[in-house]
Structure 1
Amino acid sequence: MSRSLTRLLPLLVPLALAGCAMHEVDFRGEGDGVVGAGAAVFATAETPSVGEVGEDAADDPVVWAGPRPVVVGGVSTPGIVVGTDKKAGLYVYGLDGAVLQFLPEGLLNNVDAVEGLTVAGRPQLLLGASDRTPGKTGVSLFLFDPAGTGDNGIRPWGAITTDVVEPYGFCFARIGTEVHAVLVGHEGEVRQFVVTVGADGTPVSREVRRFEIGSISEGCAADPATDALYLTEENVGLWRYGLGAGSGDARTLVQPIAPGVLVADAEGLTTITDGDARYLIGSSQGDSTFPVWRIDGAAPVYVGRFVVKDGAIDGVTGTDGLAAWSRPIGPFPNGLVVVQDDVNDVGNQNFKYIDWRDIRAALAID
């Protein structure tokens, strides 16, 4: 999460000249109002504001749908969007943006979801969220039963404990039959875990990898098909690491911070599949645009950028987190992209829904 330090420049510059090491230098902030050039798209739905009025609270979403509608709190929905309120907990939304559930679980920052675990004989959707709540910092885990009925909903399941002082970014990955969880700390610490189910039905986590990115980092997205883990170092750029636990800290700089492509802060990341092609979407928070790379080849290829403009729903600025769903989900037959909006037109921050077809058309993706 970026924090604007512009008002501190008179203090920071003399310190830098004096040779004092500064681990975080973050001169661009959320809500700066700068909007760069990019292909125009429009949101088709949005959620209500999160948290208390006037508070910076919304942060990161995840999108999920099963082969059939699911039930949340007695409401049937073809899919769900789960978003963090980093000052309060976890919201569960329908595809119309309506709130279906709220879990007051504390200071949750980034959230992701993955299939592949069975608990008590029932396949579950596993959700994880980086948790900055004092006394329980790490990754809070949740389960959702896709076959549940009645008051079914997301429920707490346990946690991954870690030595990371301030958990920030988070993403899951399926590597073969294993569920991997990747946590990114505020200062660029990365911890990778394998998550399994214990004999008593509680979560078991095993750390399999750790390395340092270098400075403040958050965005995290995995592409198992190419053994790639993408991470954003906010004031440096977009990195590609290996995804496997044995990959160590070897990396390639996909895109440095640069005007017109990726402007600090480099923030959230997500992937989306379209036919045989896969794309990585990032948040260029400094100019409120979304760069896109095609990633199914030998190396990522830059496609272009889009901007979410004012329309029937207000536009998007300063996005932290974003998420995508690649398959049909409710009224979105080719996929859905959900982004956090830091300046909502009414009330506090919220999440905006964009039809992938509109992004694809705007960027002239075949």
Structure 2
Amino acid sequence: MRFDRFCLAAASALLVAACATTEVDYQGEGEGFVGPGVRVQARLETPSVGTGGGEDAADDPAIWVFDAPVRVGAVATPGFVVGTDKKAGLYVYGFDGAVLQFLPEGLLNNVDAVDGLSIDGRPQLVLGASDRTPGRTGVSLYRFDPAGGPDNGVRPWGAIATDVVEPYGFCFARRGSEVHAILVGHEGEVRQWVLSVDADGRPAAREVRRFDIGTISEGCAADEATGALYLGEENVGVWRYGLDPASGDARTQVQGIAPDVLVADAEGLTIIADGEARYLIGSSQGDSAFPVWRIDGAAPAYVGRFVVEAGAVDAVTGTDGLAALGGPVGPFPEGLVVVQDDVNDIGTQNFKYIDWRDIRAALGL
């Protein structure tokens, strides 16, 4: 995100800790600075998000592919990308970047999608978004029926209420037959619920864990294969917790803030499966780069980082949220990574689509 309040960059850990209640942007090279990393290019982009004037609006995407093509309005598609406009609502995009649907749902920040729930006897895709709209702060929930007809689309479903004052990060996870929803508050408050469907077809949420990360946090990604929950503390680094609520607040640090690896503020997190390998991708917003760790081993292993230079579309700078999905994703045969672009060349912020094969080749994975 772009922020009006800054901490001065400093090598001293004490000074960083002193700034821990304020969000940090990289100050060494100026706005839009791009640090070291292997170079890749985005294949395409979405239209601008927001109402103009350089407004900070685009925030976080999620990607989903269905077993068979679905319809969103008049368009048949193998899946879609959803992205938040944190000033106005939720976009649904095709794999060509075109807008398929817009829901004027208010101040939605982070979004994720999950299957595993049936509503009115029909399997549904459920989407959740952290919602900062005054009077309804919490998690707003949406449903999409893969078997829907010509007027099909993403529809509001309900909400999860919370005591978190400013919902920020959000992600879903599957644990066996359970669907878990995990909310990260601006000040590092974490709430974890088991999400289900009640007798009337409405969402029901049972809180199963709460803890505090420590300071300002947002990034959230669950690795169901290894039972890990990765959370980003923006001015401190990336942490690995257990996905099992019984693990409490026990954690290990994956990566601390460090020059040329992860520069404050650390923003979005996402996981991509590539065959037997699984990778965690982060957003080093302070120098417009993306560190990558392999996470299917005994401990996360840093494998390098990439930046997105200008090519068919403009370069990516100051990324906030990002999402990744391995395997066939529309025209991307082995996976897709979608990232928010803070400073777009034409218009306001938007989302860029990157072929996973390009990232994998550049990093030598």
* Fold conserved between structures, TM > 0.5: yes
- Any idea what the Cα deviations from partners look like across 1:236-259, whole Å, max 9, x if unmatched? 000000111111000001100000
In structure 2, C-alpha distance between the alignment counterparts of 1:264 and 1:123, rounded to whole Å = 40
Larger mean Cα displacement after TM superposition, 287-296 or 69-78: 69-78
Q: Please state how far the C-alpha of 1:29 moved relative to its aligned partner.
A: 6.1
Q: Please state how far the C-alpha of 1:25 moved relative to its aligned partner.
A: 2.6
Q: Please name the residue that 2:281 is paired with.
A: 281
SS in 1 for 2:259: coil
Q: Please state how far the C-alpha of 1:24 moved relative to its aligned partner.
A: 1.2
Q: Please state how far the C-alpha of 1:4 moved relative to its aligned partner.
A: 4.3
Aligned pairs for 1:133-282 (under 5 A) are 133-282=133-282
TM-score normalised per structure 2: 0.95
Q: Please state how far the C-alpha of 1:26 moved relative to its aligned partner.
A: 2.5
1:41 aligns with 2:40: yes
In structure 1, C-alpha distance between the alignment counterparts of 2:34 and 2:161, rounded to whole Å = 39
Question: In percent, how many aligned pairs have the same letter?
Answer: 75
Q: Which runs of 5+ in 2 are unaligned?
A: 9-13
Q: Please name the residue that 1:52 is paired with.
A: 51
In structure 1, C-alpha distance between the alignment counterparts of 2:117 and 2:284, rounded to whole Å = 34
1:291–1:216 Cα change, 3 Å = same
Work out which of the residue numbers 21, 25, 36 in structure 2 matches 1:24: 21
Which residue type is aligned with residue 24 of structure 1?
T
TM-score normalised per structure 1: 0.95
In structure 1, C-alpha distance between the alignment counterparts of 2:310 and 2:127, rounded to whole Å = 32
Number of matched residues? 356
SS in 2 for 1:37: coil
In structure 2, C-alpha distance between the alignment counterparts of 1:235 and 1:86, rounded to whole Å = 22
Q: Please name the residue that 2:329 is paired with.
A: 329
Q: Please state how far the C-alpha of 1:224 moved relative to its aligned partner.
A: 1.4
In structure 2, C-alpha distance between the alignment counterparts of 1:295 and 1:111, rounded to whole Å = 22
Moved over 2 A (4+): 20-23
Q: Please state how far the C-alpha of 1:97 moved relative to its aligned partner.
A: 0.4
Q: Please state how far the C-alpha of 1:87 moved relative to its aligned partner.
A: 0.2
Report the aligned-residue RMSD. 1.6
- Any idea what the Cα deviations from partners look like across 1:334-363, whole Å, max 9, x if unmatched? 010000000111100000000000000000
SS in 2 for 1:141: strand
The answer as to whether partners of 1:58 and 1:83 remain within 8 angstroms in 2 is yes
The answer as to whether partners of 2:115 and 2:124 remain within 8 angstroms in 1 is yes
- Any idea what the Cα deviations from partners look like across 1:210-268, whole Å, max 9, x if unmatched? 00000000000001111100000000000000111111000001100000100001000
Aligned pairs for 1:70-89 (under 5 A) are 70-89=70-89
Q: Please state how far the C-alpha of 1:137 moved relative to its aligned partner.
A: 0.1
SS in 2 for 1:226: coil
Q: Which runs of 5+ in 1 are unaligned?
A: 10-15
The answer as to whether partners of 2:196 and 2:205 remain within 8 angstroms in 1 is yes
In structure 2, C-alpha distance between the alignment counterparts of 1:306 and 1:252, rounded to whole Å = 24
1:124–1:354 Cα change, 3 Å = same
